[in-house]
């Protein structure tokens, strides 16, 4: 309610999972689960929920939560060797009580900083790992011993081969691999109840090797009826159609409306996109930075019935429009940092009457 003091509270959520509840002075709120660094709620000062979370969502790790804003990292969808949408949404994050200076253009005091720290299991599923100095030194010693034995004791060639095999096994089995990234996330409530997410990913490799990743804020918006929704700002753009083996097409000049399932990756998109809900007389304005692509997804009836954590008819009341970096993976050299920012606003539909005026929304 209006007049409340801004607050950040750590408490228990579904199934006893830790979550952080943000509340601003005007009554807007957001909830973030530490499991997945996952925003599951964003409410207006009138307590109206703006994000969709399935009634069948499974709040039981390691299963990702269906709805809200899952974070897809270091892989979007199934386009790679990792599990669907990577592992960030399936990991437990920690509250970062003493983060480094966080660049932001907002004066919001209602925020939480999270950090995703590598676990011992991460190197098994993501190949961006490296040997520590001691491990490299051990391999170098083994190499010189091998050369010495080869040149001066030819009859020990068989033993030489065995020695190398044993050394390699020891390095991989008993010595620690140090993971190569640092992922920091700030979730904040801005003026007017805007929701802001800022991700910072840094390459912390010590061996000089870069790594690449794809990324998306997989945002599920709550809508009145998918047939009453249109998306503006993506007209005439090229897109990859995931329902047609990622074949490339060009969008028509009209706003995007929905009569069947959709799974498209729009390329080189503007920094602002509008999602207009005619029945609720509400427009979501999505602003993004560092995220050139945008995904539009709705499973429709057949796929909805095939998902155990999604209601058969819930597709009618949700739409995913996701700020993303997919077509051209982000590559970071050691010490480099990437930042991807998403800002969501909900405004009355009078803000967009008739055809959307780009000067008022998409550029304003």
The confidence score (pLDDT) of residue 195 equals 97
Domain that holds residue 303: 7-127+177-351
Q: In this structure, are 220 and 244 located in the same domain? A: yes
Which residue of the set 218, 232, 327, 343 is catalytic?
218
**Domains held by the chain: number:** 2
Distance CA 182, CA 205 (A): 10
The confidence score (pLDDT) of residue 152 equals 55
Domain contains 361: no
Q: In this structure, are 275 and 188 located in the same domain? A: yes
Q: In this structure, are 338 and 229 located in the same domain? A: yes
Q: In this structure, are 146 and 240 located in the same domain? A: no
Domain contains 363: no
**Position with higher pLDDT, 197 vs 158:** 197
User: What is the average per-residue pLDDT within 327-337?
Assistant: 95
Residue 345 sits at φ, ψ, to 5 deg, of -125, 150
**Residue 182: closest CA among 197, 204, 198, 199:** 204
Examine the pLDDT at 82 and tell me if it is beyond 80. Answer: no
Angle at 174 between CA 168 and CA 178, to 5 degrees: 95
What band does 364 get if pLDDT is binned at 50, 70 and 90? low
pTM of the model: 0.83
Residue 218 appears among annotated catalytic residues: yes
> Could you tell me if 283 and 350 are in contact, meaning their C-beta atoms sit under 8 angstroms apart?
no
Q: HEC profile for the chain?
A: CCCCCCEEEEEECHHHCEEEEEECCCCCEEEEECECCEEEEEECCCCCECECECCCCCCCCCCCCCECECEEECCCCCCCCCCCCECHHHCECEECCCCCCCCCCCCCCEEEEEEECCCCCHHHHCCCEECCHHHHHHHHHHHHHHHHHHHHCHHHHHHHHHHHHHHHHHHHHHCCCEECEEEEEEEEECHHHCEEEEEEEEECCCCCCCEEEEEEECCEEECCCHHHEEEECCCCCEEEEHHHCCEEEECCCCCECCCCCEEEEECCCCCEEEEEECCCCEEEEEEEECCCEEEEEECHHHHHHHCCCCCCCHHHHEEEEEEEEEEEEEEECCCCEEEEEEEEEEEEHHHCCCCCCCCCCCCC
Q: In this structure, are 209 and 68 located in the same domain? A: yes
**Position with higher pLDDT, 141 vs 250:** 250
Residue 322 appears among annotated catalytic residues: yes
Out of 114-128, 161-175, 201-215, 320-334, give the one with best mean pLDDT. 320-334
Q: In this structure, are 86 and 186 located in the same domain? A: yes
Which residue of the set 31, 232, 322, 343 is catalytic?
322
Q: In this structure, are 39 and 181 located in the same domain? A: yes
Q: In this structure, are 100 and 149 located in the same domain? A: no
Domain contains 358: no
Which range among 121-125, 222-226, 286-290, 315-319 shows the weakest confidence by mean pLDDT? 121-125
Examine the pLDDT at 167 and tell me if it is beyond 70. Answer: no
The confidence score (pLDDT) of residue 159 equals 52
Domain contains 25: yes
**Position with higher pLDDT, 38 vs 84:** 38
Q: In this structure, are 195 and 327 located in the same domain? A: yes
Q: In this structure, are 256 and 333 located in the same domain? A: yes
Domain contains 141: yes
The confidence score (pLDDT) of residue 20 equals 98
Domain's final residue, options 174, 199, 231: 174
The confidence score (pLDDT) of residue 136 equals 41
Domain contains 215: yes
Domain's final residue, options 110, 145, 174: 174
User: What is the average per-residue pLDDT within 122-137?
Assistant: 51
Examine the pLDDT at 166 and tell me if it is beyond 90. Answer: no
Residue 79 sits at φ, ψ, to 5 deg, of -85, 75
What band does 215 get if pLDDT is binned at 50, 70 and 90? very high
Q: In this structure, are 170 and 193 located in the same domain? A: no
Q: In this structure, are 102 and 149 located in the same domain? A: no
pLDDT tens per residue, range 8-31: 999 999 999 999 999 999 999 999
Distance CA 31, CA 21 (A): 5
**Position with higher pLDDT, 247 vs 146:** 247
**CATH number, position 313:** 2.70.98.10
pLDDT tens per residue, range 30-72: 999 999 999 999 999 999 999 999 999 999 999 999 999 999 9
Domain contains 262: yes
For 148, other C-beta atoms within 10 Å of its C-beta total 12
Domain's final residue, options 142, 174, 206: 174
Please, what is the average pLDDT of the chain? 85
Examine the pLDDT at 282 and tell me if it is beyond 70. Answer: yes
For 304, other C-beta atoms within 10 Å of its C-beta total 19
């Amino acid at each position: 309610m209006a007049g409340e003091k801004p607050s950040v509270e750590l408490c228990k959520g579904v199934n006893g999972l830790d979550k952080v509840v943000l509340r601003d002075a005007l009554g807007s709120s957001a909830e973030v689960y530490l499991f997945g660094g996952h925003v599951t709620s964003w409410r207006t000062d009138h307590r109206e929920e703006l994000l969709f979370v399935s009634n069948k969502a499974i709040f039981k790790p390691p299963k990702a939560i269906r709805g809200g804003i899952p974070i897809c990292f270091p892989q979007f969808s199934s386009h790679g060797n990792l599990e669907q949408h990577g592992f960030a949404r399936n990991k437990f994050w920690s509250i970062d009580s003493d983060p480094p200076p966080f660049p932001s253009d907002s004066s919001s005091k209602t925020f939480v900083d999270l950090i995703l720290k590598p676990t011992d299991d991460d190197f098994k599923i993501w190949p961006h790992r490296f040997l520590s100095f001691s491990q490299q030194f051990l391999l170098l010693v083994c190499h010189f011993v091998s050369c010495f034995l080869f040149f001066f004791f030819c009859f020990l060639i068989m033993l030489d081969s065995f020695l190398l095999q044993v050394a390699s096994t020891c390095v991989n089995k008993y010595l620690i691999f140090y993971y190569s990234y640092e992922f920091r996330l700030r979730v904040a409530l801005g003026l007017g109840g805007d929701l802001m997410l800022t991700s910072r990913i840094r390459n912390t490799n010590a061996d000089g090797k870069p790594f690449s990743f794809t990324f998306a804020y997989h945002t599920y918006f709550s809508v009145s009826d998918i047939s009453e929704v249109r998306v503006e700002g993506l007209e005439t753009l090229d897109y990859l159609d995931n329902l047609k083996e990622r074949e490339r097409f060009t969008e028509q000049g009209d706003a995007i409306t929905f009569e069947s399932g959709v799974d498209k990756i729009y390329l080189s998109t503007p920094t602002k996109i509008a999602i207009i809900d005619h029945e609720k007389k509400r427009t979501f304005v999505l602003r993004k930075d560092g995220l050139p692509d945008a995904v539009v997804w709705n499973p429709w009836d057949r796929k909805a019935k095939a998902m155990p954590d999604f209601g058969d008819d819930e597709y009618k009341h949700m739409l995913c429009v996701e700020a993303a970096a997919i077509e051209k993976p982000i590559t970071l050299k050691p010490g480099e940092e990437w930042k991807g920012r998403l800002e969501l606003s909900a405004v009355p539909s009078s803000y967009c009457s008739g055809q959307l005026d780009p000067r008022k929304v998409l550029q304003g």
